[in-house]
Structure formats: structure tokens, C-alpha cells
Amino acid sequence: MDNCYELALEAASFIEKELHGKPVAGIILGSGLGPLAQKIENGVRLKYNDIPNFPQTTVESHEGTLIAGMLGGQYVVALNGRFHYYEGYEHWQIIFPVRVLKLLGVENLLITSAVGGINEAFKPGDLMLISDHISFFAPSPLWGKNIEKFGERFTDMSEVYDRNLRELARTVAMEKGINLREGVYVYTKGPMFETPAEIRALKILGADAVGMSTVPEAIAAKHAGMKVLGISCITNMAAGLQGQLSHKEVIMTAKKVENQFTALITGIFESWK
């Protein structure tokens, strides 16, 4: 959309009036991972439908609230609820909150998600550090006229997920005794789960986990010059590697690892330099 910058600027200006400082980082919370937002102290809470131009969440477990406050001794802005291509949104709308965070001065973005495991060494309940992604199967979030105020036309994707932030996550996981997996995330459009044949093909391509989010946001953040850290919860094994799949199972598994997930994310911010 040609006036995306102006719309994002209006949203950022509205939010900025409610903040109590400059955020060190932004956090996007995936399916079932919203309870982390309750750990944010002295938080300002804004419903998405009160923020100018913000899309509205339609997925169960995505609350649709922006929270700004202290986590692990750092001032952060968390988005409890995200937007997906399968909801009917255009990609410029999916990445709209990332661009708003950029205009708020956020330079580091932590993206979380619930995913299906493809790597058979993984199991439901594992946490996975995203090392890279595959995104052949959906339109680019940067499609259309480039907005130079966010970033240049052709964005280098050699290192989307910042190596220093990944090393920090590994160190914190080791200190807390958390078995943090690492792998490649593949983005599919959804909302249907993938077929066993698709999973076999994705495994050949080098994917370790599959999901319906994260990648558009990571691309937009990289385009805008932000440092990205991606952490996924393996909530189920992908099609053909277990029985039938359901969104209810995704939420239940995420709930079981809530304490471990919260400890890891809080620990990362406690160690933030």
C-alpha cells in the first residue's frame, strides 16, 4: 500500500504517547505463548482496536494487545497476537506492526511461534532457536513499491537471525539447563496443516520445523535494519510423523512448556547488553 508509511507513523505516534521510555526490544508472541505477557511489569496495555490503523486478530489464543513494560530488567514492547496470511490479510498488513515497532525506535526483534516438528530428533515441547528459514511458498512481504524510509529495495538475507543474539540465547539456555534445539523454519501459507507428502518434500529441502508465521515479520525486520532472534516451540510433529493434527494440541503443548519458555526469554533479557 502506497501510504503504509504514513499509516504506520500515525500508529507509532499514538503508541509513543503511552510509553515510559525507549524500548530495547520488541517481542511477537505466537500461538499459546501469550502468557509471557503477564510477566511484563508496570506494563501499559493497549488493545489493537484502539491503535490507529492496526489490524485485528481473529485466531484463538491471540489476544490482540500491545504491552509495554519491564521484562528481565529491560524495557520492551510485546505484541500479544499477530496476523497471518491465511486470515485474509495482505502481507503489508502482516508486517505492519513490525514497521510500527521500528518507528518506535525498536532495533531488536524477538519473534516467537508454535511450529510442527519435521526433524525427527525433535519432540513436542522442545524449544527451537531459528538459524535460518525457507520461504519459497508464499508471496514476499516486500512485494510492491519499496518504502525507502524503512529499507532498501534489495535486502541481503545472508543472516536474517542475528548470530550474536543466537549465541546469547544458547548461553542462557545452557545456564538454565534448557535443551534448546536449533534449526531451519519453513513458512507455509496455511491455514490447513501440511500433507505428509509436503512434509517429506520440506525435509529434503532442509527444513527442521514448519509454521504459518514468523518469516514475513523476520523479512520486514531485516529490511528495516533490525536485529532478529527467532525462538519456536515444537508443539506437535508434522503430518505423517504422528496422528491427526489440531490447533487445540498446539495450545495444550505450548501451555506445558510455558514455564521453560518464560524462563528462557526472561533470562535473555536479564543478560541483554
Which of 64-68, 136-140, 156-160, 179-183 comes out lowest in average pLDDT?
136-140
The whole-chain average pLDDT of the chain stands at 90
Tell me, what's the pLDDT at 242? Answer: 65
Q: Which residues are catalytic?
A: 31, 62, 84, 86-87, 114, 212-213, 236, 247
pLDDT over threshold 80, residue 273: no
Which residue segments constitute the domains of the chain, with CATH numbers given?
A: 4-270 (3.40.50.1580)
Mean pLDDT score, 242-254 = 68
Mean pLDDT score, 164-173 = 97
Range list of H helices, 112-214: 163-175, 196-205
pLDDT over threshold 60, residue 61: no
Which of 92-96, 182-186, 222-226, 233-237 comes out lowest in average pLDDT?
233-237
H or E stretch covering 71 = strand 65-71
pLDDT over threshold 80, residue 205: yes
Cβ atoms of residues 51 and 104 within 8 Å: no
Which tens digit of pLDDT belongs to each residue from 113-151? 989 999 999 999 999 999 999 997 788 999 989 999 999
Cell of 260: 521453560
DSSP 199-257: HHHHHHHT-SEEESSSHHHHHHHHHTT-EEEEEEEEEEEPTTSSS---HHHHHHHHHHT
